[in-house]
Chain A
Amino acid sequence: MKRNLVQELKEEYGRSAKAKLLDVSDGVFLAADGKGAPDSEVYQDRIGALYGMAYTIKFACKQREQDFVVGKLEGIYAEGVPMMEFVQQPKEEWVWTMMIRMPEFVTQEDVVAARETLKKKGKTEDFNAVELREIQEGRCVQMLHVGPYENEGETGDKMIAFCEEQGLQPTRWHHEIYLSDPRRVPPEKLKTLLRFPVKTA
């Protein structure tokens, strides 16, 4: 049975046009840290490395009959910087962790083997920057953003208003899940899930 986490975790990856409160399950991710604008060389290198690793691991798992669907690109932006402050920062200052979720059967050995495979093929991205990491977020507020990334602040405002209504306070970071591919989908149709962990105010 082919694993498909996006389908299995409907509550976490499904669209919600309104802000909602949810408990996010702990997950294992391929993760790469960095700093810089999304059009910077380092960001592009990390994305290339993440996808290279994700697909190499997928095909290795498939060979041993543990097939899975490679999920969405996700990004966690800046521990300690609330979303509404973050969106004001110059893009060059952005600190991020870009990630792709993996099924729980993916191991550290798979990651090491995938790096080797890719290097043998002569790939030049920095695969050492990609690690297997467990992420725990717990209780979060989440909402679907439709449109260009530049307008995410408008959706953020609605999420903050929801928090105030519910007596919640954002903590830690904000998290973006890219449901559409910006190279192919026109900006006004882009769909992105926005999420941040919350505590009771």
Chain B
Amino acid sequence: MSEPQPATAQDYAARIARVLAWMQARLHEPMPLITLAEVAGFSPFHFHRIFRGMVGESVQQHVRRLRLERAAGLLKTTERSVLDIALETGYESHEAFTRAFRRQFSCSPTSFRETMRGTASPSPSNFSPMTYSTDELQVELRRLPSRMLLCLRHVGPYDQVGSTWERLCDWAGPRDLIGADTEMIGASYDDPDVTPADKLRYDACLTVPAGTVGEGEIFVRDFPGGMFATMLHEGPYQELGATYAKLYGGWLPQSGYVAADPPCVEFYLNEPETTEPEDLLTQVCIPLKTS
């Protein structure tokens, strides 16, 4: 796998364009993540996030859409059977294909064929990068100091981290480890577009004094700090993905920086139990390579 090159917007756009073209030409083949990342010249971890940020949909969504669009073209311009086209599109049955087709085009393959027969074939999708306004990309570079963290690991969907937080705070609270200056930090290791929801790794973390000792699953570790690109996310936690897309797909490509290995960290600036979801403030921080 190639090392990340000096990063420019054109360079990122060129790499994404390269992989899009590669995918377009092989829609009937399986597309392992590793191969796609290699074609683009990104590490597999960052590839999906950069892709989603720049293209505006995940790799899976993109492939599914292109395959269905191609199938639509075949329906219009050929006499091949629906089942035949379904199989070539990567579906194992007529029914599964029809369901997916209906979701995309709001009609069945058969009625699509009937109404569209004879019209021009749809042109293959062209790539134009998502554009973000300067207002949307208010990014601050920060050097975060190292900290001692008291952590509890959560594995599962991000919208279920609440119970992990509760367990951590129930342990730390009576031991006087939560005070006015305690910071609540979430560390995430996986990209929800890539890793299945039930396997997402996340640490709920509280800043604690040096010398603190954990117990059982609750552990203490050193957060080394370093350079981060940060953006303030305002609104429900369920919408954090949009802020990550802006950072990885909007800001990073034109920044001249290269993303470092995870975790990404989130600082929670208010209490979710007593704050309206629209008022929640989260400082999202993605790690950068420094050399």
Q: Which residues of A contact B (CB under 8 A)?
A: 4, 6-7, 13-15, 47-48, 51, 55, 58-59, 62, 69, 71-72, 121, 179-181, 183-186, 189, 191
Contacts and interface: CB of A to CB of B under 8 A. Distances in A.
B174 A69 contact: no
B3 interface: no
A55 B274 contact: no
A137 B283 CA distance: 37
Given A62-B170, A191-B279, A72 B269 contact: no
Contacts of B180: 47-48, 51, 183
A185 B270 contact: yes
B176 A121 contact: yes
Most A CB atoms within 10 A — which of B180, B232, B274, B281?
B274
A14 B270 contact: no
SS of B interface (majority): mixed
Contacts of B273: 4, 6-7, 69
A186 to B, nearest CB: 8
B173 interface: yes
Given A51-B180, A189-B281, A59 B174 contact: yes
Given A59-B173, A185-B269, A185-B281, A71 B178 contact: no
B193 to A, nearest CB: 29
Interface string B102-146: 000000000000000000000000000000000000000000000
Interface string B231-268: 01010000000000000000000000000000000010
B274 A4 contact: yes
A43 B273 CA distance: 26
Given A180-B269, A181-B269, A184-B281, 18 more contacts: A6-B273, A13-B274, A15-B279, A48-B180, A58-B173, A59-B174, A69-B273, A69-B274, A71-B274, A121-B176, A179-B270, A180-B270, A181-B270, A183-B181, A184-B269, A184-B270, A185-B269, A189-B281
Interface string B159-189: 0000000000010011010101100000000
A78 B28 CA distance: 74
25 contacts: A4-B274, A6-B273, A6-B274, A7-B273, A7-B274, A13-B274, A48-B180, A55-B173, A58-B173, A59-B173, A59-B174, A62-B170, A72-B274, A121-B176, A179-B275, A179-B279, A180-B275, A180-B279, A181-B269, A183-B180, A183-B181, A184-B281, A185-B269, A189-B281, A191-B279
Contacts of A62: 170
B276 interface: yes
Contacts of A15: 276, 279
Interface of B: 170, 173-174, 176, 178, 180-181, 232, 234, 267, 269-270, 273-276, 279, 281
B276 A14 contact: yes
A55 B178 contact: yes
Contacts of A185: 269-270, 281
Contacts of B279: 15, 179-180, 191
Nearest to B234: A189
Nearest to A146: B279
A185 B173 CA distance: 23
A69 B173 CA distance: 13
A149 B142 CA distance: 27
A178 to B, nearest CB: 11
Nearest to A118: B176
Contacts of B181: 183
A145 to B, nearest CB: 13
A3 to B, nearest CB: 11
A121 B175 CA distance: 10
A79 B281 CA distance: 34
